[in-house]
Structure 1
Amino acid sequence: MPFTRIAVRAGKPAAYRKALTQGIQRSLVEIFNVPEDDIFMVVTEHDQDNFFYGKHYLDIDRSDDLVLIQITANNTRTVELKKALYKRIAEHLAESPGVRPEDVFVNLVDVPKENWSFGNGIAQYAPPA
């Protein structure tokens, strides 16, 4: 059910981008109990003129290897689970493809279950009328 957007600076190889998606998906499976095949992700690359960030916001030293991750998911998780997810994503991405934890930015967007249609024009998670 999550939908994940990943933004990086242009020029990373395909294997790097794939490792990002795999690490994030493993984290979602482990922490949010998402089914293995419930994967909907897009990776976008941005050149320097279209990639802006606070290099030192909140005293975190970020580099041009910053990975911006936005996950839209059901609004059913506790704060503790969300914190565990952020930590696990940073751990997985440090392992592969080698992203520094300072360069892992995660934004979670909570939405009601009826805000999803996975195909066929049907709100699969919405309560029956």
Structure 2
Amino acid sequence: MPMIRIDVTQGRTPEDLAAVSKAIHAAVVGEYRIPEGDYFHVVTEHPRGQVVALDAGLGFERSDGVVMIQVFTQRGRSGEAKAALFAAIARELQGVGVAGEDVFIGYVENGAEDWSFGFGRAQYSTGELATPDTRNAS
């Protein structure tokens, strides 16, 4: 049940933003085999100049169409599973017109006790929700 933050520069249509979100969700569902309904995304648009993503010394240029993605999820997935997710996200985004060099992903892990889905309760910790088994995800 990852939560995804997506930051982009203003200028995309609402339909384009929805397509970006859906593409990322498709990658997460496909790679981590989460339920389709576990869809928690925050899409934020920023004025030009407020999203900065240089090449980090890799020798390529990004466009102003960069999509910065933060994946917040429970710890326990392997490096191979994370790499597969990164590749799937880039592949899905390419299908909606986002170039590979414009895909930037940060991955943040935490524990079951770090989630509340409402009412101020940590439902994984209280047993109201079953803790996802991250070992079976790719």
TM-score of the superposed pair, with normalisation by structure 1: 0.92
Q: Which residue of 1 aligns with 2:13?
A: 13
Partner amino acid, structure 1, of 2:5: R
Aligned counterparts of 1:56 and 1:80: Cα–Cα separation in 2: 22
Conserved 8 A contact 1:4-1:70 = yes
Judged with a 3 Å threshold, the aligned counterparts in structure 2 of structure 1 residues 72 and 24 are, in CA distance, closer, same or farther, namely same
Q: Which residue of 1 aligns with 2:119?
A: 120
Specify the SS of the correspondent of 1:48. Answer: coil
Aligned counterparts of 1:68 and 1:33: Cα–Cα separation in 2: 23
The Cα shift of 1:2 comes to 1.0
RMSD: 1.4
Aligned residues: 127
Aligned positions of 1:18-29 closer than 5 A: 18-29=18-29
Judged with a 3 Å threshold, the aligned counterparts in structure 2 of structure 1 residues 64 and 56 are, in CA distance, closer, same or farther, namely farther
Give unmatched runs, 5+ long, in structure 1.
none
Give unmatched runs, 5+ long, in structure 2.
128-138
Judged with a 3 Å threshold, the aligned counterparts in structure 2 of structure 1 residues 56 and 120 are, in CA distance, closer, same or farther, namely closer
Percent sequence identity is 39
Specify the SS of the correspondent of 1:126. Answer: helix
